[in-house]
Amino acid sequence: MTTSRQAFYDALDAWIDAHFDDEVRYLQALVRVPTDTPPGNNAPHAARTAELLAEMGLHAESHPVPQAQVREYGLESLTNLIVRRRFGPEGSGPMIALNAHGDVVPPGEGWTHDPYGGEIAEGQLYGRASAVSKSDFASYTFALRALESLQASLHAAGTPLGGGVELHFTYDEEFGGELGPGWLLQQGLTKPDFLLAAGFSYQVVTAHNGCLQMEVTVHGKMAHAAIPDTGIDALQGAVTLLNALYARNAVYRGITSQVEGIQHPYLNVGRIEGGTNTNVVPGKVTFKLDRRMIPEEDPVVVEAEIRDTIAQAAAAFPGITVDVRRLLLARSLKPLPGNRPLVEALQRHGEAVFGETIPTSGTPLYTDVRLYGEHGIPAAIYGAGPRTVLESHAKRADERVALDDLRRATKVVARTLLDLLRTE
């Protein structure tokens, strides 16, 4: 008698329930190794993750990025991990990659729990990166292990698994992903058929914003504050540029994205530095801007418009010169048609496990997923977490993940893998 598909789903769920304490301990161990980026000394976390995986019978390939590239990038150390698990011969099914990033911004102030403690209180596990996205190191690892536990039963039922799964654990999402997934893809170390990346549990994200980051340096002429007319105030020049740039936000609010969950472009200046002392007319001021791009925008046009705005504003302030340098260009993610089997399976099992409709949406964030999309790999974003980034406290004090969300998301991912890899 053929075992029903639902029976296999139930078996996956039961395995995850039986091993959930182990999954939580694994996540706690990951949180307890800091991955603050900057400074980005993340090779030790990759080494610890590989040790923990080995204890579970999973071999992690270590792929250290050459140190010269890492230093030039602005980080200290970076090792990417790939776990490969093939269930059938090549051509027997798709290769599905699951990507989560371990790097995270420093904890900052205001914590009521140890940011590296992995403490559990009222059903929440606290710690920096507990939600974004070490939680999905855990959900993806244990989804794979649950799937492995069914191999014999599936074979006996005449529906063995085909294809395979890769776990991609990378460490530079905060810097744009170019030496994480970007490097793995560029080196030809992976070319999956589908990509699932770390996300939250109540929606499947299929599109996201792009991001352009630029450094603008305004040069004037230093002078004693008692005789300011002998200098050229770089700060006043910078204010002229900033006013012109911020005025663009009024225009951007009138540009509406057609992607659910994404509203309009936005420009933010996140860092300003300059001057030498209170009694000196500043001769140099530098600021860094972040321009979020909706999927409908062309990055080339956006960058040209920013540069033109700066040039026109600088021309209105005689004496200053301006240098503009691009720091990051992260293209937006647009849905690839081939992602439908992955997206529909996630939605179907999300609804079954969570008891509510799991919609597709876009997100105003930018992610490493775009790098897979640029290589033509159909992708989706789904994992363990709440309904919004705000609820997770990501990049804020007391970041946390609900253990119930972690448990249920692991089940959704395991069921989805089963659907995509089970041969009929």
Give yes or no for a contact between 171 and 365, defined as CB atoms under 8 angstroms apart: no
Give me 3's structure tokens.
């075992």
Average pLDDT of the chain is 96
Binned at pLDDT 50, 70 and 90, residue 1 comes out as: very low
The answer, yes or no, to whether residue 424 has pLDDT greater than 80, is no
**DSSP per-residue codes, 174-196:** GGTSTTTHHHHHHTTS---SEEE
- For residue 70, the SS3 value is helix
Query: Which of 59-68, 101-110, 361-370 shows the lowest per-residue confidence on average (mean pLDDT)?
Result: 361-370
* All residues at 6 or more sequence positions from 189 whose CB lies less than 8 Å from its CB, including other chains: 63, 82
Q: What share of the chain is helix, strand, coil (3-state, %, to 5)?
A: 40, 25, 40
d(CA 286, CA 274): 6
Name the nearest CA neighbour of 310 among 359, 363, 267: 267
Q: Please state, as a whole number, how many other Cβ atoms lie within 10 Å of the Cβ of residue 366.
A: 22
Q: Are 98 and 196 in contact (CB under 8 A)?
A: yes
The total of other beta-carbon atoms located within 10 Å of residue 361's CB is: 17
3-state secondary structure of 304: helix
- In tens, the pLDDT along 191-201 reads 999 999 999 99
One-letter amino acid at 64 equals P
Q: What is the pLDDT of residue 154?
A: 94
Residue 224: the pLDDT is 97
pLDDT higher than 70, residue 2: no
State yes or no: pLDDT of 3 exceeds 80: no
**Crossing angle (nearest 10°) for helices 340-354 and 403-421:** 140
CA distances from 94 to 98, 100, 116, 422 (A): 13, 19, 37, 10
Coil vs helix vs strand at 65: coil
Tell me how crowded residue 389 is: count the other CB atoms within 10 A of its CB: 17
Contact 419, 347 (CB under 8 A): no
pLDDT tens-digit map of 228-276 = 999 999 999 999 999 999 999 999 999 999 998 899 999 999 999 999 9
